Amino acid sequence: MKYSKKDRQKLLTQTIEDNPFVTDDQLAEKFNVSVQTIRLDRMELSIPELRERIKDVAAHNFENEVKTLPIDEVIGEIIDIDLDDRAISLFDVQDEHVFQRNGIARGHHLFAQANSLAVAVIDDDLALTVKSELTYNKPVHAGNRVIAKAIVTGRDDARNRTFVTVTSSVEGKTVFTGQFEMYRTKGKGERK
């Protein structure tokens, strides 16, 4: 379906309000126009690019929730968090994150996203990684969006430990898993 510029921009604004994580590529496909047209529409409407929209949503929604570290120290953008239960973050792999010769993402970036999410999900003033067990399942390339999901799987309050599993995926396929044992300063009964 072909839209007039006015109608397209109105629908574009509504679509982004409904889903701030929609990409320019997805919008171009939805409105049957080029990505460049979408970018020009966004500029005319003063709608920031996806990366900025994600930061705005994360800062607005989660800045006061994450206790263990400042939100801007989390690798990737937190898009959902329920402390001591679960969290989700997005990480867009750029050219600076990959090896030049083959375009594959350096493993420490995937680890950093997963580890910082495991820290952020802890409902405490301090959380540190005691131990981790990592599995890299599939290469990640520049241009991929990595979605990391952290789930709190258990606690050992006598030792001030929380156990977190992080699964990272690209386009629905698991690329990385991590089992994290996290130290926290307080056990469950001691929290405020």
CATH number of the domain where residue 37 is located: 1.10.10.10
More confident residue, 65 or 173: 173
How far apart are alpha carbons 183 and 186 in whole angstroms? Answer: 9
Contacts of 68 (CB under 8 A, 6+ apart): 119, 120, 122, 124, 125, 126, 127
Indicate whether 41 and 75 sit together in one domain: no
Mean pLDDT confidence for 128-146: 95
CATH number at residue 178: 3.10.129.10
Q: Which of these ranges, 86-90, 96-100, 183-187, has the smallest mean pLDDT?
A: 183-187
65: in domain? no
Q: Is the pLDDT of residue 147 over 50?
A: yes
Q: Assess if residue 57 is contained within a domain.
A: no
Q: Which of 116, 113, 110 is nearest to 141 (CA)?
A: 110
Instruction: Give me the numbers of helices (H) and strands (E) for the chain, helices first please.
Output: 5, 6
Contact status, residue 27 vs residue 12, Cβ threshold 8 Å: yes
Q: Quick one: 43 and 125 in the same domain? A: no
CB 114 within 8 A of CB 129: no
Look up the pTM and report it: 0.67
Residues 74 and 113 in one domain: yes
Residues 84 and 144 in one domain: yes
Q: Quick one: pLDDT band at residue 79, thresholds 50, 70, 90?
A: confident
- Asked whether residue 125 is assigned to any structural domain, the reply reads yes
**Close Cβ partners of 120 (under 8 Å, ≥ 6 residues apart):** 66, 68, 69, 74, 78, 81, 87, 89, 150
Q: Does residue 94 lie in a domain region?
A: yes
Question: 93 and 41, same structural domain?
Answer: no
More confident residue, 17 or 70: 17
pLDDT-wise least confident of 77-81, 82-86, 115-119: 77-81
Query: If pLDDT is split at 50, 70 and 90, which confidence band does 113 have?
Result: very high
Give 74's DSSP letter.
S
In this model, does residue 2 exceed pLDDT 90?
A: no
Q: What angle do CA 26, 57, 136 make, to 5 degrees?
A: 70
Are 30 and 91 within one domain?
A: no
Q: What is the rounded distance in angstroms from the CA atom of residue 179 to the CA atom of residue 153?
A: 9
130 domain-assigned: yes
On whether both 109 and 41 belong to a single domain, the answer is no
Question: Is residue 53 a part of any domain in this protein?
Answer: no
Residue range of the domain that includes 134: 70-190
At 72, the pLDDT band (50, 70, 90 cuts) reads: low
pLDDT confidence of residue 23: 83
Q: Is pLDDT at 182 greater than 70 in this prediction?
A: yes
Q: Does residue 58 lie within any of the structural domains?
A: no
Q: Between residues 115 and 58, which one has the greater pLDDT?
A: 115
The confidence band for 192, taking pLDDT boundaries of 50, 70 and 90, is: very low
CB-count burial class (<10 Å; 0-12, 13-18, 19+) for 14: exposed
**Contact by Cβ (8 Å): 101, 168:** no
Q: Are residues 89 and 168 in the same domain?
A: yes
32 and 104 belong to one structural domain: no
Distance, in Å, from the CA atom of 70 to the CA atom of 120, rounded to the nearest integer, reads 9
Q: What average pLDDT does the segment 96-110 reach?
A: 95
Asked whether residue 145 falls in the same domain as residue 176, the answer is yes
In terms of domains, do 10 and 79 share one?
Answer: no
For residues 19-42, one letter each, b for 16 or more C-beta atoms within 10 angstroms of the residue's C-beta and e for the rest, the string is ebebebeebbeebebeeebbeebb
pLDDT in tens, 151-164: 999 999 999 999 99
Number of domains in the chain: 2
pLDDT for 36-70, tens place per residue?
999 999 889 888 887 676 666 555 555 445 556 55
Residue 61 placed within a domain:
no
